[in-house]
Each structure stands twice: as structure tokens, then as C-alpha cells.
Structure 1
Amino acid sequence: MNILQNIHAVDVQTFSWCMARKHRVLLTRIGRAVSFSADGPLYVAAALLFWFTGYKVLVLVMVVGFLLERLVYLVLKKGFKRNRPADALDNFSSFIIPSDQFSFPSGHTSGAFFMAYCLSEWFPSMNIMLYFWAANVGLSRVFLGVHFPTDTVIGALLGSACAALAIGVLV
């Protein structure tokens, strides 16, 4: 068995454990709202708000870094073509309809960690709240049934790395 098969087996076990939680229905309801908070249009609204309040360097970092993040994200999605849980597991349906076909990496999680990292650099007193939100975005994607746990872990790493790179180059 190769490493990817081992990772997938652990992923399926962890995913199944999450789906078997007693309060999964409540977690799914909460997950919808948390997941929605990481949709792309809200990032555009945030960038506009920061632009008009004088945080132009932050907006530059957000635009350049997010373009890099989306590029890498799309290359990974198209390259790995990992099936989502509903397509990979028998007798399972997700609680929402995902916006694209493949699971790896989680774009919502990547975007959330990208934003958390960037905003933490400008507003360090908010970093616990920002990373708490980003981690919950990742968890919501699992509890909504559209990602395996490693999809969200890699998404978190991708978003953080792109933010660090953008900040390192532009600031």
C-alpha cells in the first residue's frame, strides 16, 4: 500500500468519525454559516473596506497573494483530482452542493487561512479570533461532507504559505 492509500484510509476513518458525532446536525447547521463566511465575495467586500480606510498595502498583499493562492489551488485541484466524500464513499451524500468537482485541497480553508494570516499581520490583537474562525471554516467543510480532513489541512498550509510569501515579498 503506498503513502497516498494510507493517508486516504486514515482520512476516511477520521471523516467517518466526524460524521458519527452525536451533535452532527447542529454542527452542520453552524457549519453552513461558517462556511458561507469564507465565500469569495466577502473577501472582495473586505478588500474594498480596507482600501477605503487607508490600508492600501494590505489590499495589495491580499490581491497579489490571493491570485497566487488561487493559481496554486487550481493546479493542485486539477492535478490530484481527488474525489469528494460523496463520490468516494458508498451511501454518503454531502449536506451542501460543492462549487466544483474535486476535493483536494479545500479552497474555503485555504482562503480563510490566507485571510487570517494577512489580517493578523496588520491587526495582531485579533489573531486568536482570526485563526479560530479559519480553523472552524476547515472543520465546517468536513462536517458539511464536502472535504476529507487532509483537504482542509493542506488548504490551511497553502493559504498560510501564500500569505507569508506575499507579505515577505511586498512588505
Structure 2
Amino acid sequence: MKLIYSVHKYDVFMFNRLINASFYHNLATAARYISRTGDGYLYLLLVTVLYFKDGWQSPFLQTLLLAFLMERPIYFVLKNGFKRNRPQAAIKEFHSLVTPSDKFSFPSGHTSAAFMVAIISGFFIPVLLLPLLLWAALVGFSRVVLGVHFPTDTLVGMILGISAATYSLNQIIL
């Protein structure tokens, strides 16, 4: 329990440092756009393109589907099991810049899905790996900037996404 409190205390400290930084308002506008790229529409578009290009036999499509079928339930169980309040509920007089789709913050689903898609897409299109990892990191960072996640929410989201991607690649490809 002491560890959880220490992590939360550090999270609040880091969150407040970011929110109170002089450049915060400049980041906020960009964060809104970057965060939207992780809302799921691009993933649906990617799955649709892969289906129409190669059909259900596409290893890329199969890997993505397996990863989402595994990651989303784990994410849901963690989110509803830990029930960690979002910054707006945890910090007095703070208001997030966007309205989150659910009540709890741990882990970040946007970050998890972004890293999962980045790793899998980078495996199949290696030249895109580094730009996609940068994009995934920016999605996670944008969620903190927007005030809907603490830093460790995005860190655990990243770990979940990378783990789901790695497992799925091992099952389908390797």
C-alpha cells in the first residue's frame, strides 16, 4: 500500500510539473489532435484496408485482430479492477481539457492500443517502426497533457500494448 501511495504521489508531482510548465498551453492544442489519432478510427481503417487487400489470410490482419482480442479484455479488467481516479477527480480544482470516455485512468487504453499497433505495423513495415513508435509515445504524452491520465497510466498502457503485440506476433508469425 505504501508503494502505491508513493507512486501516486510521484505521479501527481510529475503531472503538476507538466500542467504548470510555461509551455503547457502550446502543447494542449497539439495534444488534442495527436490524441484523436488514437481514438480507434485509424485502427478500424487499417483493419479494413488489410482485409480488402489480402483477406482474412493476411498475417498482418490476423496479428492485429489477435492482439486486440487479447489486449482489450485485459485493459478492461485492469481499468475496472484498479479503479484509479483520473486527474480531474484526484486533484482539487483541476479540470481536464477533454472529457474522457470512462471514469477510471489506469491503464491508458489510447497508449496501449497505439503501442500495440505501432509494434505490429512496424514488424510488417519495418521502415515505419521508428515513426510509429514516436507517434505512439506522443499519443501517450498527449493523454497526460490533456489531463485524463497520470504518467504511470501511460507507462503501463505502453507495457500492455507492447506485450500484446509481442505475444500476438509470436503466435501468428514466429
**TM-score, length basis structure 1:** 0.97
Match of 1:167 among 156, 166, 169: 169
- Sequence identity, in percent? 40
Which of 148, 158, 164 does residue 150 from structure 2 map onto? Answer: 148
The alpha-carbon deviation at position 41 of structure 1 amounts to: 2.2
Partner residue in 2 for 1:13: 13
Task: Give every structure 1 segment of 4 or more consecutive aligned residues whose post-TM-superposition deviation is greater than 6 Å.
Answer: none
Structure 1 match to 2:120: 118
C-alpha distance in 1, partners of 2:111/2:137? 8
Residue 106 of structure 1 deviates from its aligned partner by 0.2
Q: 2:64 maps to which residue? A: 62
Partner of 1:83: 85
In 2, the alpha carbon distance for the partners of 1:81 and 1:25 equals 29
Name the amino acid aligned to 2:27. L
Matched AA of 2:82 = F
The one-letter amino acid of 1:37's match is T
Deviation at 1:28, TM superposition (A): 0.9
Q: Which moved more, 1:151-160 or 1:41-50?
A: 41-50
Residue-pair matches, total: 171
Letter in 2 for 1:123: I
Aligned position for 1:32: 32
Q: Secondary structure at the match of 2:106?
A: coil
Structure 2 distance, partners of 1:41, 1:112, is: 12
Alignment partner for residue 135 of structure 2, among 133, 136, 153? Answer: 133
Corresponding residue of 2:98: 96
Would you say 1:2 and 2:18 are equivalent positions?
Answer: no
1:43 to 2:43 alignment: yes
- Ranges in structure 2 where 5+ consecutive residues have no aligned partner: none
**What is the identity, as a one-letter code, of the residue corresponding to 1:170?**
I
Bigger shift: 99-108 or 51-60? 51-60
Deviation at 1:51, TM superposition (A): 2.1
Cα offset, 1:97, TM superposition? 0.1
Secondary structure of 1:137's counterpart equals: helix
Q: TM-score, normalised by structure 2?
A: 0.96
How much has 1:64 moved relative to structure 2?
Answer: 1.2
- What are the superposed Cα offsets for residues 43-67 of structure 1, whole Å, 9 maximum, x if unpaired? 1111111222237111111111111
